[in-house]
């Protein structure tokens, strides 16, 4: 394994683990990318973590778990862990991936108490192993950290935890996000877009809840009543976790996107999110009768369904598709990324070989409940999303068989905001490519 570590392309000038060696590792940045001996289409990634406590005799760290999006199995007490190089402060691990893969990851250094096998030993005969494992894993994630040796500024992801990013040389380019990746998010908060950004609240009478919304106006137009409306579900994701506003501004100024009004809707919490985004007629009726009229009083926009886009990911991808299929006369364009089309039967997510099991929305498409007229769809899913890829394939096939207008794309990655962010821009650009202010 020592040869693996010296493969960092600086010859044997320094002893592995010495201060000069660590300086070279830090200068190089990680993970280290090298060719795979097994396939010309793949690469090896080498991850290294420096134990601040020293070697195994001095340090309380017993595992350094690594959480890689859609690679790490979240349903086991034995997720992958870096290995310690005996007698050193070095922890290391390798992963083989496709050359065009993109993904996020975090490191989880743990003491003896939090080692999975210890938790498993505590199981009583009548305890639910799955529930206990889930509790253990969520507890671990509270201590997850971005990779300090990754030279790219970390981003904030699920549960407000920071993560590090991997963009392999042959992954799809994301030039629109380059400045974001090189600049910590807080430095973007003073950008010029802020004068066109507003945060307010929506008190829904019919739903009986109040939530935050964000509105953002990109670019300038002399006819604001004709500008497109783009509704982004899970609005906190795009307002806080991966702030999209400066990117939208630059894409608009460069002519890649037309001036538009963006409406971001906060999910409130996990329970409300699941209630609203799993094919809820009440939620979408409230948006049409309450929220959109409230926004239009202040910020005029088009009522042309062709240029009214609903976009979402995961449950949001399911919800966006549901909205477009049921109200194409209002939401004529849909961006669905990694849609949870297994709902409400999660059997495909728990078991293998369930390709015969279809979700509720797919069944409704197959039964001819919806008309393809007037609806355009941009659908994406990752090749590493396992069962989610299958249910997205099922829905796409059903839509195509019913002659819906669908652009379907598969990217090499997982259930990952790093992949969704550029796909979202591509979807908006694709659906608005024929937009004209004269329409």
- Domains in the chain with CATH codes: 2-167 (2.60.40.10), 182-431 (3.40.50.1820)
Q: How far is CA 425 from CA 174, 245, 256, 384, in A?
A: 10, 12, 9, 21
DSSP for 265-285 reads E---SHHHHHHHHTT-HHHHH
pLDDT in tens, the chain (439 residues): 444 555 454 445 678 888 888 998 998 899 999 898 889 999 999 999 999 999 999 999 999 999 999 999 988 999 999 999 999 999 999 999 999 999 999 999 999 999 999 998 888 777 788 889 989 999 999 999 999 999 887 877 655 578 999 999 899 999 999 888 877 554 444 455 678 999 999 999 999 999 999 999 999 999 999 999 999 999 999 999 899 999 999 999 999 999 999 999 999 999 999 999 999 999 999 999 999 999 999 999 999 999 999 999 999 999 999 999 999 999 999 999 999 999 998 876 665 555 678 999 999 999 999 999 999 999 999 999 999 999 999 999 999 999 999 999 999 999 999 999 999 999 999 999 999 866 6
SS3 123: coil
Contacts of 193 (CB under 8 A, 6+ apart): 216, 218, 245, 246, 248, 249
For the stretch 56-62, contacts whose Cβ atoms lie closer than 8 Å and that sit 24 or more positions apart, written own/partner, are: 56/84, 56/86, 56/87, 59/89, 60/111, 60/112, 61/91, 61/109, 61/110, 61/111, 62/110, 62/111, 62/112, 62/115
- For the purposes of burial, counting CB atoms within 10 Å of the CB of 171, is it exposed (0-12), middle (13-18) or buried (19 or more)? buried
**10-30 burial: b if 16+ Cβ within 10 Å, else e:** eeeebebbeeebbeebeeeeb
SS3 420: helix
Within 13 Å of residue 123, how many CA atoms lie on the same side as its CB?
18
């Amino acid at each position: 394994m020592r040869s693996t570590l010296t493969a960092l392309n600086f010859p044997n000038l320094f002893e592995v683990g010495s201060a000069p060696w660590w300086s070279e590792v830090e200068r190089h940045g990680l993970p280290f990318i090298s060719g795979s001996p097994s396939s010309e289409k793949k690469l090896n990634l080498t991850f290294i973590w420096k134990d601040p406590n020293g070697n195994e005799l001095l340090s309380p760290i017993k595992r350094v778990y690594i959480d890689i999006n859609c690679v790490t199995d979240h349903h086991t007490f034995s997720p992958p862990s870096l290995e310690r190089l005996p007698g050193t402060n070095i922890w290391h691990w390798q992963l083989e991936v496709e050359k065009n893969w993109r993904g996020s990851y975090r490191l989880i250094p743990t003491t003896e108490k939090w080692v999975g096998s210890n938790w498993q030993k505590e199981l009583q005969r009548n305890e639910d192993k799955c529930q206990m494992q889930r509790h253990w894993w969520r507890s671990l994630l509270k201590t997850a950290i971005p990779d300090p040796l990754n030279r790219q500024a970390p981003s904030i992801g699920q549960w407000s935890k920071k993560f590090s990013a991997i963009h392999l040389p042959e992954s799809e380019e994301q030039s629109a996000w380059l400045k974001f990746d090189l600049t910590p998010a807080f430095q973007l908060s003073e950008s010029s877009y802020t004068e066109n950004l507003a945060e307010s609240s929506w008190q829904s009478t019919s739903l009986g809840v109040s939530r935050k919304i964000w509105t953002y106006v990109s670019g300038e137009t002399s006819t604001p009543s004709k500008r497109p409306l783009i509704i982004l579900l899970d609005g906190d994701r795009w307002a806080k976790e991966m702030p999209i506003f400066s990117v939208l501004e630059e894409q608009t100024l460069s002519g890649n996107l037309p001036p538009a009004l963006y409406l971001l809707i906060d999910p409130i919490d996990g329970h409300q999110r699941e209630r609203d985004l799993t094919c809820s007629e009440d939620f979408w009726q409230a948006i049409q009768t309450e929220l959109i009229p409230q926004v239009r009083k202040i910020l005029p926009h088009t009522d042309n369904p062709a240029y009214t886009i609903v976009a979402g990911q995961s449950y949001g991808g399911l919800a966006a598709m549901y909205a477009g299929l049921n109200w194409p006369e209002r939401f004529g364009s849909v961006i669905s990324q990694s849609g949870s089309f297994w709902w409400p039967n999660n059997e495909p997510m728990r078991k293998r070989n369930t390709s015969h099991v279809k979700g509720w929305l797919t069944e409704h498409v197959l039964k001819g409940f919806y008309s393809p007229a007037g609806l355009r769809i941009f659908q994406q899913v990752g090749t590493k999303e396992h069962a989610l890829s299958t249910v997205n394939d099922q829905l796409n096939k059903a839509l195509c068989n019913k002659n819906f207008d669908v652009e379907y794309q598969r990217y090499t990655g997982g259930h990952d905001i790093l992949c969704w962010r550029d796909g979202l821009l591509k979807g908006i650009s694709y659906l608005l490519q024929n937009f004209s202010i004269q329409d």
